[in-house]
């Protein structure tokens, strides 16, 4: 059998194995190498909620999907072209995600009697042998044995040998998809710098996998995916949570303020803490509090003192922060609340994704408690929106909720990172000192034209004052239960929120005409899927446009006219219909929802199906 060379526009690979098999690392390394080659790409890591579910079982399967291409890539791909399975449970859990005719690379050592039992295949059934995989190309490799052979001349304990088997698979895929091994070799040398024999073993196994691909002639074809036609510039690969961290650090630098993160660990937000904790030299303090309430409260304390107070969590933790966020609304202090959403009510499905905290963000507090909500549309966009969240919070003295989700947070994409000098400065005005009676009495709740009060921080001569959660008297900030004053202050807080619309970009059309039959309106992580589908439908001749909201509360000031320029508005969301409700109630238009609540993002083909169905059912 000879190997053919094939050039492809895009490829989707899924790595799957036991959570101890190192599939996330394998996927990330493949991603980095692929990014360095200049492909566009998107990733979807999926892991079990348990740290180490019982080995070999279906709940213990961890997987990593990646789509890369020479064209623009906006989703991790619906179905994969190649599925790597380290054991039978991984096959069972992921087979449905493989294309017809796709390639299965199976580690036969993971298909012994014990593993088949653990994966709950019926007695005597082995999918590799019973013909059930006939419609796929199956490549069987005893990875464990080959690794052992590769390391025969090294005196390594069995456990360490076993651990490097993911490198064999990675090496093989590098050969299969024509990728160089250098950056992975550098990584291994660095990671195991203190244990050179482990580094050596891993590199040996990686190369063994590569050369096995080359010599064993087991693949029908070798695939090349050329560099993508991206905008010129310098790129790096980045995940959403990494970009978020950088956005916060950059905003701290550009405002010349210290940043204080008060937080409590929760999936999938913890990486924000891990990331920021490293950047102390940028004047950043991280505080791991006793719970989310203390986390948010500490950030408010820091904001009162003149720092950028930030608090991060996921849905359940945001629920706990609710009262404190309300306090920040009353105090009219900056506060950035990061919500990396997860699936489900209560603790739900912590490692799965959903966009179902929008109502919580917009309305989830007692009393009339308006604040700002922004949402990134992709991993790299977390940088810009985090920067924006800080900017708006500081410039408007108000809490801002930043709504990301597990899909955006853990997924990655190439990022054309900015130069620091290209980032806008964030202008912060503190109330100045008063040295004598002539300077007049300080009025903490006096406002400017945008209804913003000044940040008056302790340590400033002559402006000693008290703030608190009780209703404020207009201008003086004294406690007041006066009915008319409460009405007035409620109106002011609402108007202050609404006026932020003057300081954010107008909503643009991502793709398509400014008016027409159909507008698909999305927010957050659905961006890639919607963009891809609308692109396809437009090519097929449909009059359809796409707008993606990143500023949700308040809406951009042109929203109403934009929405009213289309006959039909379709709102796809990974929830049971939240933005669509906001749109309907705010603009009194019959927007229609497309919803999916499965803990997974939209696939391109399923979203396309849904849109086509909607259009057929209710002609525009």
The interface with other proteins within residues 457-486 (CB under 8 A) comprises 457-470, 478-479
Decide whether 125 or 479 has the Cβ nearer to other proteins: 479
Q: Which DSSP string corresponds to 311-333?
A: EEE-HHHHHHHHHHHHHHHHHT-
Four-point Cα dihedral 45, 12, 128, 181, nearest 10: -80
Taking CB under 8 A as the criterion, the residue among 235, 387, 407, 602 binding other proteins is: 235
User: Minimal CA–CA distance to 226: which of 412, 40, 65?
Assistant: 40
CB 473 within 8 A of CB 485: yes
User: Minimal CA–CA distance to 402: which of 313, 284, 288, 520?
Assistant: 313
According to the binding rule CB under 8 A, does residue 84 interact with other proteins? no
Distance CA 300, CA 318 (A): 14
CB of 290 to other proteins, least distance (A): 4
Identify any residues that bridge with 343 across adjacent strands, giving them in sequence order. 349
CB of 65 to other proteins, least distance (A): 22
Contacts (CB under 8 A) with other proteins, residues 364-403: none
Decide whether 29 or 544 has the Cβ nearer to other proteins: 29
According to the binding rule CB under 8 A, does residue 419 interact with other proteins? yes
Decide whether 416 or 564 has the Cβ nearer to other proteins: 416
With tokens 């239960």, the residue in question is 481
Contacts (CB under 8 A) with other proteins, residues 20-79: 32, 35-38
* Binding window for other proteins (CB under 8 A); candidates: 163-171, 255-263, 361-369, 596-604: 255-263
CB of 395 to other proteins, least distance (A): 16
Read off the tokens for 402: 């930043």
Q: How many residues bind other proteins (CB under 8 A)?
A: 79
What x/- string results for residues 164 through 193 when contact with other proteins is judged by CB under 8 A? -------------------x----------
Q: In what order do the strands lie in the sheet with 372-374?
A: 284-288, 259-263, 308-313, 335-341, 399-405, 372-374, 551-553
CB of 426 to other proteins, least distance (A): 12
CB of 575 to other proteins, least distance (A): 29
CA angle at residue 295 from 294 to 297, to 5 degrees?
A: 60
* Binding window for other proteins (CB under 8 A); candidates: 13-21, 160-168, 196-204, 225-233: 225-233
Neighbours of 326 (CB within 10 A): 18
Decide whether 203 or 591 has the Cβ nearer to other proteins: 203
Decide whether 59 or 468 has the Cβ nearer to other proteins: 468
According to the binding rule CB under 8 A, does residue 236 interact with other proteins? yes
Give the contacts of 152 (CB within 8 A, at least 6 positions apart): none
The enclosing H or E element of 103 equals: strand 98-107
According to the binding rule CB under 8 A, does residue 539 interact with other proteins? no
Decide whether 212 or 387 has the Cβ nearer to other proteins: 387
Decide whether 37 or 544 has the Cβ nearer to other proteins: 37
Taking CB under 8 A as the criterion, the residue among 85, 167, 238, 401 binding other proteins is: 238
Taking CB under 8 A as the criterion, the residue among 164, 237, 267, 412 binding other proteins is: 237
Decide whether 281 or 539 has the Cβ nearer to other proteins: 281
CB of 64 to other proteins, least distance (A): 19
Decide whether 256 or 609 has the Cβ nearer to other proteins: 256
Decide whether 142 or 323 has the Cβ nearer to other proteins: 323
CB of 358 to other proteins, least distance (A): 25
* Binding window for other proteins (CB under 8 A); candidates: 66-74, 275-283, 504-512, 553-561: 275-283
User: Minimal CA–CA distance to 120: which of 86, 93, 140, 84?
Assistant: 93
CB of 528 to other proteins, least distance (A): 19
Decide whether 293 or 349 has the Cβ nearer to other proteins: 293
Contacts (CB under 8 A) with other proteins, residues 292-311: 293-295, 297-307, 309
Contacts (CB under 8 A) with other proteins, residues 497-526: none
* Binding window for other proteins (CB under 8 A); candidates: 44-52, 169-177, 234-242, 555-563: 234-242
CB of 445 to other proteins, least distance (A): 14
Taking CB under 8 A as the criterion, the residue among 283, 344, 350, 432 binding other proteins is: 283
Read off the tokens for 10: 């895009």
Q: 3-state DSSP call for residue 586?
A: helix
Taking CB under 8 A as the criterion, the residue among 134, 153, 231, 484 binding other proteins is: 231
Distance CA 570, CA 592 (A): 5
Read off the tokens for 27: 């996927």
Neighbours of 317 (CB within 10 A): 23
CB 396 within 8 A of CB 503: yes
CA 127 vs CA 21, 196, 556: distances in Å: 21, 39, 54
Contacts (CB under 8 A) with other proteins, residues 322-361: 323-324, 327, 331
Contacts (CB under 8 A) with other proteins, residues 427-446: 428, 430
Distance CA 572, CA 355 (A): 11
Distance CA 547, CA 25 (A): 35
Neighbours of 194 (CB within 10 A): 7
According to the binding rule CB under 8 A, does residue 260 interact with other proteins? yes
Please state whether 597 falls in left (phi above 0), alpha (psi between -120 and 50) or beta: beta
In this structure, is the dihedral angle defined by the CA atoms of residues 366, 372, 378 and 382, taken in order, positive or negative?
A: negative
Read off the tokens for 408: 């955006």
With tokens 């013909």, the residue in question is 131
CA 528 vs CA 33, 74, 483, 534, 601: distances in Å: 22, 4, 49, 10, 10
* Binding window for other proteins (CB under 8 A); candidates: 71-79, 258-266, 536-544, 551-559: 258-266
Prior bond of 268 cis (ω within 30°): yes
According to the binding rule CB under 8 A, does residue 280 interact with other proteins? yes
Decide whether 84 or 443 has the Cβ nearer to other proteins: 443
Taking CB under 8 A as the criterion, the residue among 3, 108, 117, 285 binding other proteins is: 285
CA 128 vs CA 118, 296, 389: distances in Å: 16, 53, 52
* Binding window for other proteins (CB under 8 A); candidates: 198-206, 373-381, 414-422, 547-555: 414-422
Decide whether 326 or 524 has the Cβ nearer to other proteins: 326
């Amino acid at each position: 059998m000879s190997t053919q060379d094939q050039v492809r526009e895009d490829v989707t690979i899924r790595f799957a194995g036991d959570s101890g098999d190192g599939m996330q690392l394998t996927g990330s390394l493949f991603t980095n190498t692929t990014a360095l080659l200049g492909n566009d790409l998107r990733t979807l890591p999926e892991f079990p909620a348990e740290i180490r579910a019982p080995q070999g079982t279906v709940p213990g399967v961890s997987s990593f999907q990646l789509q890369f291409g020479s064209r623009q890539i906006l989703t991790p791909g619906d179905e994969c072209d190649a599925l790597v399975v380290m054991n039978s449970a991984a096959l069972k859990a992921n087979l449905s995600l493989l294309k017809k005719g796709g390639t299965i690379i199976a580690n036969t050592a993971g298909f012994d009697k014990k593993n088949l039992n653990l994966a709950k295949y019926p007695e005597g059934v082995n999918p590799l042998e019973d013909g059930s995989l006939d419609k796929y190309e199956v490549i069987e490799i005893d990875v464990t044995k080959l690794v052992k052979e590769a390391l025969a001349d090294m005196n390594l304990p069995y456990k360490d040998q076993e651990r490097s088997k993911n490198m064999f698979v990675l090496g093989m895929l590098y050969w299969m998809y024509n990728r160089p091994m250098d950056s992975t070799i550098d990584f291994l040398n660095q990671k195991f710098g203190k244990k050179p024999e482990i580094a050596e073993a891993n590199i040996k196994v990686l190369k063994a996998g590569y050369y096995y691909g080359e010599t064993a002639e087991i693949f029908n074809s070798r695939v090349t995916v050329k560099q993508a036609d991206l905008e010129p510039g310098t790129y790096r690969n980045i995940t959403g949570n990494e970009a978020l961290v950088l956005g916060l650090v950059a905003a701290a630098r550009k405002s010349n303020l210290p940043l204080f993160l008060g937080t409590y660990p929760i999936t999938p937000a913890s990486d924000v803490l891990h990331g920021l904790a490293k950047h102390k030299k940028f004047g950043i303090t991280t505080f791991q509090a006793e719970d989310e309430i203390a986390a948010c409260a500490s950030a408010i304390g820091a904001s009162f003192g003149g720092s950028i107070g930030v608090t991060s969590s996921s849905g359940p933790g945001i629920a706990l922060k609710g009262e404190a966020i309300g306090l920040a609304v009353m105090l009219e202090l900056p506060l950035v609340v990061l919500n990396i959403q997860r699936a489900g009510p209560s603790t739900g499905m912590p490692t799965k994704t959903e966009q179902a905290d929008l109502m919580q963000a917009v309305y989830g507090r007692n009393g009339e408690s308006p604040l700002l909500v922004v949402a990134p549309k992709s991993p790299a966009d977390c940088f810009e929106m985090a920067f924006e969240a800080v900017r708006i919070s500081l410039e408007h003295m108000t809490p801002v909720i930043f709504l990301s989700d597990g899909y955006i947070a853990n997924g990655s994409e190439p990022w054309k990172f900015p130069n620091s000098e290209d980032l806008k400065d964030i202008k912060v005005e503190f109330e100045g000192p008063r040295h004598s009676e002539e300077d007049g009495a300080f009025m903490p709740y006096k406002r400017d034209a945008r209804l913003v009060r000044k940040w008056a921080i302790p340590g400033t001569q002559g402006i000693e004052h008290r703030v608190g959660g009780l209703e404020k008297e207009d201008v003086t900030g004294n406690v007041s239960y006066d009915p008319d004053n409460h009405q007035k202050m409620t109106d002011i807080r609402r108007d202050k929120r609404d006026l932020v619309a003057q300081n954010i970009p107008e909503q643009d059309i991502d793709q398509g005409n400014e008016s027409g039959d159909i507008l698909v309106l999305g927010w957050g992580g659905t961006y890639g899927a919607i963009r891809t589908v609308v692109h396809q439908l437009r090519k097929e001749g449909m009059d359809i446009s796409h707008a993606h909201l990143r500023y949700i509360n308040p809406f951009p000031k042109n929203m109403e006219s934009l929405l009213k320029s289309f006959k039909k508005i379709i709102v796809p969301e990974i929830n049971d219909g939240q933005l669509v409700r906001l749109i309907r109630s705010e603009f009194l238009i019959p927007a229609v929802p497309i919803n999916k609540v499965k803990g997974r993002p939209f696939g391109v083909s399923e979203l396309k199906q849904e849109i086509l169905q909607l259009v057929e059912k209710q002609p525009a």
